[in-house]
Structure 1
Amino acid sequence: MLPDLTELAMESLTPMQALGIPVALIGAVFLAVGAQLQHRGVGKVEAQIAPPVRTAGLSLRQMAALVARPSWLIGTLMLGLAVVFQLTSLALAPLTVVQPLGAVALVITAVLNARVSNVRLDAASIRAVAFCVGGVALFVTIASFTTTSRRVSDAQVFVILAILAVVLVALAALFLAYRHRFKAIMYIVGAGVVYGFVATLAKVVIDRVKTGDFEWLTLTCVVALLVATVLGGYFVQNAYSSGPPDLVIAGLTVIDPIVAVLIGILVLREADGAHWTIMFAFLVAGAMAVYGVFQLAKYHPQTRH
């Protein structure tokens, strides 16, 4: 039944909406290459500026030095282009059509990193990548046929901002208290959760601007979006310093969309009326994808000690 529904959904796209698919794929390529270059820049900075005592997380001096690394700057530019292409694809086509295509970046990054670092992915790592891509694709595909986009009320915006505030405070507290124990997977989970809220807030802001609803609440969303983006970006750079780029991309392309869809289901009530079997399918698909991320963190050749 699901393949037939997918085929029907694709056939219902207008030519302009269909254009969003190649645009999203181009964005995925920029995301993969940009992640690889940023990872290289972080590695070079760590080699140049090694603190006397090894601490978890990049120091302020190391973060400042990244701006002088050509590879990191080019990678940042490519990630910026990836965001532009992603937003363009979302403007052209429905979210549920183009969102799964972001998982293509994981496959590209895994292959690219294996070539650059001369590290061959083993069967366990390849299986983990398959779980990531398959799980998130299934999760978002189910969402495309069971969720309905609704107008976001002021009360719902307040709830999203309140949850984000709690998440940001919790992540900041955990980082300050346990930063010496933080590993790549912890940074990746944190960044993925934060970026899930960033994607949701970006959609809220765009929709409110389209309807001429730009007031203090919308401005608050913009400020919260910027704060979350900065914290998520810091977590990503630290993830690069403690793990391979394909693991970072795995976390972002899996956790980010799952969090965004969960906000849509639980806060925005976009799946009201869905049968309990649909909710169970969500749980299974999400569990598959998250399992893949943790397996990649465990078995990736560059994360073993």
Structure 2
Amino acid sequence: MGSLLWLAFTLALAGALLNGLGALWQNTAVRDKQNGKLVAIGALLELLSNRKWLMGQLAVVIGSALHFGALAFAPVTVIQPIGVLGIAVTAVASARYDRTGLSLGTWFALAAIVLGVGGFTSLAASNAQVTSVSDETAVLIALIVGLLLMVLGLIGSIGHGLVRCLAFAAGGGVVFGFSSVVVRLAALSVEHGNRADFPTGSLIGAILSIPVAVWFIQQAHASGPPDLVVAALTLSDPLVAIGIGYVALGEGAKTSTVATLGEVVCFLLAAVGIVLLPRTRAKSKKDAPNATLGASDATNATLGAKFNR
């Protein structure tokens, strides 16, 4: 058992590293061409010939596969917090790419995000229990996800800078959160041998929603720094998954008041970190003596200025 846990830990750690680096590579590739602008379908197709973007996408795909593979050998409460380390990997790699250091404020923001998301996920995973889902509930889940995507897509389309970045990143997290619920239901169906409960329709919907998630995430990359995109994704993913569990699957009744309060505190801690992150990163770049203000740096500075208003 010990060797399997170590294997799971190694897979999850490698997955977090690849996800963090992949986000940086995608971010730099997108913002070199579409900095601060909405990414049109044509521009997205052009990215398919961009070596840096392809390398980033491949890293994210492999990293996600390693993360899901780790879940086969260890509980969610052990693996999911390790995946949150991808935020720190992206922040450190981004600072090295921009030739700037990480200030004490940035480290504080990263610690708040990692501890907040890790704690929220651990508490949520410990209290969530799903056995089956009816066809009516599956339709309700799909409607909730579709509504959230429409709202976030609208906010991202009419918003600018930080608002656009967070809205589209959260949209990508909605899809991943929905996919997590579906995969979980499918795994439970196989484990219990109940073929009738296998969420075939929801699984097809989750697969079809992946291109939407990719498009949302590229929009987020075009409007904000990579560490902020990863942070928003990592927070919205479990939030949506647990929210669906509470609203559509009735899991809220099985969660104690203490656990619920703990989840709220962890969520607020992570949210504070996300708010502080672009401010501290923009200040670090401004104070760096050898930093050059390029296109991507200008957007970071703009995000920081929006927070200071």
- Normalising by structure 2, we get a TM-score of 0.81
**CA 1:161–1:208: 2 relative to 1, 3 Å:** farther
Could you tell me how far 1:205 is from its partner in structure 2? 3.2
2:287 maps to which residue? none
| Residue type of the alignment partner of 2:28 | R
CA distance in 2, matches of 1:80, 1:174: 27
Q: Does 1:93 align with 2:66?
A: no
Matched, 1:153 2:141: no
> What SS does structure 1 have at the residue aligned with 2:72?
helix
d(CA) in 2 for partners of 1:280 and 1:59? 42
Summarize deviations over 1:233-285 as a string: whole Å, max 9, x none.
11211111121111111112222123223333443344534332221111111
Q: How far is 1:179 from its partner?
A: 5.2
Instruction: Note if contact 1:205-1:221 (Cα within 8 Å) is conserved in structure 2.
Output: no
Q: Does structure 2 retain, via aligned residues, the 8 Å contact 1:99–1:257? A: no
Q: 1:143-199 CA deviation, whole Å, 9 max, x = no partner?
A: 354x143312224433322211222333344445x1567532222222223322222
Q: Is the 8 A contact 1:106 1:250 kept in 2?
A: yes
Give the whole-Å Cα distance in 1 for the aligned partners of 2:65 and 2:196: 22
In structure 1, list runs of 5 or more residues that go unmatched.
1-12, 48-54
Across the two proteins, how many residue pairs are aligned to each other? Answer: 283
Matched residue SS, 1:121: coil
113 and 214 in structure 1: CA distance in 2 versus 1, 3 angstrom threshold: farther
2:128–2:255 CA contact under 8 A, matched in 1: no
Give the partner amino acid of 1:157: A
Aligned residue for 1:213? 195
* Deviations, residues 62-118 of structure 1 (Å, cap 9, x unaligned): 111101111111111111101210111112211121011111111111111100111
More moved, 85-94 vs 206-215: 206-215
2:268 maps to which residue?
Answer: 287
1:117 is aligned, of 98, 106, 109, to 98
Match of 2:211 in 1: 230
Change (3 A) 1:295 1:41: same
Pairing 1:16–2:13 present = no
Q: Is the 8 A contact 1:57 1:179 kept in 2?
A: no
CA distance in 2, matches of 1:57, 1:292: 26
Aligned-residue identity in percent:
26
- TM-score normalized by the length of structure 1: 0.82
Check conservation: 2:88, 2:110, Cα contact below 8 A.
yes
Deviation at 1:132, TM superposition (A): 0.4
**Contact (CA 8 Å) 2:176, 2:237: kept in 1 or not?**
yes
Aligned position for 2:41: 60
Which residue of structure 1 lines up, in the alignment, with residue 18 of structure 2?
30
- Using a 3 Å threshold, how does the CA distance of structure 1 residues 274 and 60 change in structure 2: closer, same or farther? closer
**In the alignment, which residue of structure 2 is the partner of 1:304?**
301
The answer for the alignment partner of 1:252 in structure 2 is 233
Alignment of 1:149-188 (within 5 A): 149-154=129-134, 155-176=136-157, 178=158, 182-188=163-169
Farther-moved stretch of structure 1 (272-281 vs 283-292): 272-281
For the aligned residue pairs, the C-alpha RMSD in angstroms reads 2.5
Which deviates the most, 125-134 or 265-274?
265-274
Which of 89, 107, 122 is 1:108 aligned to?
Answer: 89
Quote how far apart the aligned CAs of 1:222 are: 2.3
Label 1:254 to 1:15 Cα distance change in 2 as closer, same or farther (>3 A).
same
Q: Cα deviations across residues 4-31 of structure 1 (Å, max 9, x unaligned)?
A: xxxxxxxxx6543442121111111110
State how far apart, in whole Å, the 2-side matches of 1:17 and 1:270 are.
Answer: 28
